[in-house]
């Protein structure tokens, strides 16, 4: 009995010495990550959040496509201007024809004579008969060749239609600028979210590695206790199985990091498999947000303003359609030369010209214009209703984001405290295990609680950062802009 007591006392002393030499937990502080993350393997420049946002705004496919839409509207603006500008054509043609119409008309003596005029003197009819013999028969009329060069001008003057079309095109360009801003904000939100996913995935890898280190520590303690006769072989087996079950989590976390890196690459307009290294940034922003100011900002965000301009475009288009029933002027002019041969085309006396002005008064077009105007009225009313619904949806979205952000902040505060307590409980249970006052199951539960608490902190921090970016986009601001830089948004204490 004395030997058994002495052996236990020696084992306890050995465990205390081992405890003093054991390393501290390798778990990083996920609330304040630092360093460089290799999101996609390979060498390349280190990108911070600002660099990622600039790259995305310059090369993201959606942003580039929306900017090309601006050029499309430039073309429509020119098309609208064309409704009020004249057309000028330079036409050159060559023709060859045979026209026996004069020879076939008996009034002019077709077929060799002019005939007679009833009631005329005999000598006059004889003269006509002799003159008509100068016109050859129809079968003897030869083919003729003509060369022509003309400059033709056509101009339709309808001021109401021109003003409506040009005004709609100009407003369309303003609307497109707002749509570009809206897309840039949406892409910025996606970039911030993807960037924080990369950081969260790296935090998760660090957490799993820390969990593995703790599992190794527990396994070494259990093996030592087994060698000293203070633990069973089942305890050692359970500790080894627990560590082995943690290894696949590391593979999944590394795969999640590569996926997040590929997604961030795609948002920046790069190949998903291109090497990507990210500098960890992303400070948590605090401060109470004024809901009324947030809603006021949201009502003026680019996509809603663009929707209002769309209604203005529709009204101007309706104005242009109504103009089809109003009187308008058409002017036409032509100046050119005609000749029998190419070398005689521009000879003196071969020039010709024509000018005309016409007033057109539409009377009845088969109800086409009335139908188009009625269709435009319906489209405008429907658009106004959809825009009102969109405004309400935006307000609901902002209120929802505010509530979720506040809840996520509170959750983050709670899980950070819980993580500290879980770390302390894990250390105490491991100490008790080394002293023989706790079972392996107690240590396993404490370690699982610490791992869950650390995962909760990582997830809560990501949620706060992502929701903050979403809120900025929802109120029409750049996701990279700080909350305290937005006038009157934060409640002053």
pLDDT 10s digits, 237-266: 777 877 787 788 888 999 999 999 999 999
The verdict on 6 and 46 lying in the same domain is yes
Q: Would residue 157 be called left, alpha or beta, if left means φ above 0 and alpha means ψ between -120 and 50 degrees? A: beta
**CATH assignment of the domain containing 190:** 1.20.1600.10
What integer is the mean pLDDT of 135-156? 81
The pLDDT value given to residue 129: 57
The verdict on 251 and 111 lying in the same domain is no
- Judge whether 357 lies within some domain: no
The pLDDT value given to residue 259: 93
What interhelical angle do 233-267 and 440-474 show, nearest 10? Answer: 10
The verdict on 169 and 135 lying in the same domain is no
What interhelical angle do 440-474 and 368-434 show, nearest 10? Answer: 150
The pLDDT value given to residue 23: 35
Beta strand pairing call for 87-97 and 46-47 = unpaired
Question: First vs last Cα of the chain: how many Å apart?
Answer: 71
What integer is the mean pLDDT of 173-192? 92
Burial of 163 (0-12, 13-18, 19+ CB in 10 A): middle
The verdict on 216 and 127 lying in the same domain is no
What integer is the mean pLDDT of 320-338? 89
Coil/strand/helix, residue 147: strand
Confidence of residue 226 (pLDDT cuts 50, 70, 90): confident
Q: Decide: 176 and 62 in contact? Cβ < 8 Å.
A: no
The verdict on 13 and 132 lying in the same domain is no
The pLDDT value given to residue 326: 87
What integer is the mean pLDDT of 45-73? 90
The verdict on 191 and 278 lying in the same domain is yes
**Average confidence score pLDDT of the chain:** 82
Provide the CB-side half-sphere exposure for 349 (13 A, CA).
1
Domain count, the chain: 2
Tens-digit pLDDT profile for residues 65-82: 988 888 887 887 777 778
> Which runs of consecutive H residues, i.e. helices, occur in 435-476?
440-474
- Judge whether 94 lies within some domain: no
Tell me how far apart the alpha carbons of residues 233 and 243 are, in angstroms, rounded to a whole number.
16
Nearest to 420 by CA among 460, 448, 457: 457
- Judge whether 152 lies within some domain: no
pLDDT of 17 higher than 80: no
pLDDT of 5 higher than 70: no
Tell me how far apart the alpha carbons of residues 180 and 170 are, in angstroms, rounded to a whole number.
16
The verdict on 409 and 452 lying in the same domain is yes
State residue 214 phi and psi, 5-degree precision: -65, -40
The verdict on 408 and 477 lying in the same domain is yes
pLDDT of 347 higher than 80: yes
The domain of 127 spans 99-142
- Judge whether 207 lies within some domain: yes
- Judge whether 147 lies within some domain: no
Residues with Cβ within 8 Å of residue 446, at least 6 apart in sequence: 422, 425, 426, 428, 429, 430
Say which residue, 433 or 170, is predicted with more confidence: 170
The pLDDT value given to residue 243: 77
The pLDDT value given to residue 102: 58
Q: Would residue 47 be called left, alpha or beta, if left means φ above 0 and alpha means ψ between -120 and 50 degrees? A: beta
- The DSSP string of 187-253 is HHHHHHHHHHHHHHHHHHHHHHHHHHHHHHHHHHHHHHHHHTTSS-HHHHHHHHHHHHHHHHHHHHH
**135 sits in which H/E element:** none
Say which residue, 342 or 12, is predicted with more confidence: 342
pLDDT of 175 higher than 60: yes
pTM, to two decimals: 0.73
pLDDT of 27 higher than 50: no
- Judge whether 226 lies within some domain: yes
Instruction: Note the maximum CA span of the chain.
Output: 172
Tens-digit pLDDT profile for residues 301-312: 999 999 998 898
The pLDDT value given to residue 461: 93
- Judge whether 336 lies within some domain: no
Q: Tell me which DSSP letter residue 146 carries.
A: E
Confidence of residue 116 (pLDDT cuts 50, 70, 90): low
Tens-digit pLDDT profile for residues 451-484: 889 889 999 999 999 999 999 999 999 998 999 9
- Judge whether 111 lies within some domain: yes
Nearest to 33 by CA among 457, 366, 475: 457
Confidence of residue 16 (pLDDT cuts 50, 70, 90): very low
The pLDDT value given to residue 25: 38
Confidence of residue 126 (pLDDT cuts 50, 70, 90): low
pLDDT of 118 higher than 80: no
- Give percent of the chain with pLDDT exceeding 90: 39
Tell me how far apart the alpha carbons of residues 14 and 434 are, in angstroms, rounded to a whole number.
10
Angle at the Cα of 242 from the Cα atoms of 13 and 453, rounded to 5 degrees: 90
Confidence of residue 106 (pLDDT cuts 50, 70, 90): low
What integer is the mean pLDDT of 362-370? 87
- Give percent of the chain with pLDDT exceeding 70: 85
What integer is the mean pLDDT of 169-178? 87
Tell me how far apart the alpha carbons of residues 128 and 122 are, in angstroms, rounded to a whole number.
10
For tokens 């992303």, name the residue: 282
The verdict on 228 and 308 lying in the same domain is yes
Q: Decide: 480 and 50 in contact? Cβ < 8 Å.
A: yes
pLDDT of 103 higher than 90: no
Confidence of residue 22 (pLDDT cuts 50, 70, 90): very low
Identify the domain boundary among 109, 142, 175: 142
Tens-digit pLDDT profile for residues 383-418: 999 999 999 999 999 999 999 999 999 999 999 999
pLDDT of 92 higher than 70: yes
The verdict on 109 and 251 lying in the same domain is no
The pLDDT value given to residue 6: 43
Tell me how far apart the alpha carbons of residues 415 and 453 are, in angstroms, rounded to a whole number.
6
What integer is the mean pLDDT of 163-180? 86
The pLDDT value given to residue 290: 94
The pLDDT value given to residue 138: 67
The verdict on 51 and 181 lying in the same domain is yes
The verdict on 45 and 181 lying in the same domain is yes
């Amino acid at each position: 009995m004395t030997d058994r007591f002495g052996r236990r006392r020696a084992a306890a002393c050995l465990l205390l010495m081992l405890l003093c030499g054991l390393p501290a937990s390798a778990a990083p502080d996920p609330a304040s990550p630092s360093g460089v993350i290799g999101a996609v393997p390979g060498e390349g420049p280190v990108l911070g959040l600002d660099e990622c946002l600039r790259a995305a705004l310059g090369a993201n496919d959606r942003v580039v496509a929306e900017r090309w839409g601006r050029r499309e509207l430039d073309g429509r603006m020119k098309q609208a201007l064309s409704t009020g500008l004249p057309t000028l054509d330079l036409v050159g043609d060559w023709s060859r024809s045979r026209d026996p119409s004069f020879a076939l008309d008996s009034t002019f003596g077709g077929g060799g004579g002019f005939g007679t005029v009833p009631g005329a003197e005999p000598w006059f009819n004889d003269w006509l008969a002799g003159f008509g013999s100068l016109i050859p028969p129809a079968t003897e009329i030869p083919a003729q060749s003509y060369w022509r060069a003309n400059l033709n001008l056509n101009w339709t003057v309808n001021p109401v239609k021109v003003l409506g079309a040009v005004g709609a095109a100009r407003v369309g360009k303003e609307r497109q600028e707002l749509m570009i801003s809206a897309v840039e904000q949406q892409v910025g939100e996606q970039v911030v979210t993807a960037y924080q996913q990369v950081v969260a995935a790296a935090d998760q890898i660090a957490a799993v590695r820390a969990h593995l280190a703790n599992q190794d520590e527990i396994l070494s303690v259990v093996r030592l206790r087994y060698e000293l006769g203070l633990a069973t072989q089942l305890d050692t087996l359970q500790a080894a199985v627990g560590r082995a079950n943690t290894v696949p989590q590391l593979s999944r976390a590394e795969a999640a990091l590569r996926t997040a890196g590929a997604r961030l690459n795609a948002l920046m307009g790069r190949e998903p498999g291109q090497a990507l290294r990210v500098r960890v940034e992303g400070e948590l922003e605090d401060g109470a947000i004024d809901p009324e100011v947030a809603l006021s900002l949201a009502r003026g965000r680019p996509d809603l303003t663009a929707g209002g301009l769309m209604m203005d475009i529709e009204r101007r288009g309706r104005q242009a359609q109504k103009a089809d029933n109003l009187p308008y002027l058409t002017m036409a002019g032509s100046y050119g030369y005609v000749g029998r041969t190419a070398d005689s085309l521009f000879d003196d006396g071969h020039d010709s010209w024509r000018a005309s002005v016409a007033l057109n008064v539409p009377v009845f077009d088969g109800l086409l214009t009335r139908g188009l105007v009625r269709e435009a009225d319906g489209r405008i009313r429907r658009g106004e209703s959809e825009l009102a619904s969109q405004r309400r949806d935006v307000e609901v979205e902002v209120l929802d984001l505010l509530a979720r952000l506040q809840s996520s902040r509170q959750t983050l505060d709670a899980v950070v405290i819980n993580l500290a307590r879980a770390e302390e409980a894990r250390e105490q249970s491991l100490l008790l295990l080394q002293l023989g006052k706790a079972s392996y199951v107690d240590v396993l539960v404490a370690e699982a609680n610490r791992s869950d608490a650390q995962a909760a902190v990582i997830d809560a921090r990501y949620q706060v950062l992502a929701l903050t970016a979403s809120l900025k986009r929802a109120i029409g601001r750049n996701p990279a802009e700080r909350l305290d830089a937005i006038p009157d948004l934060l409640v002053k204490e």
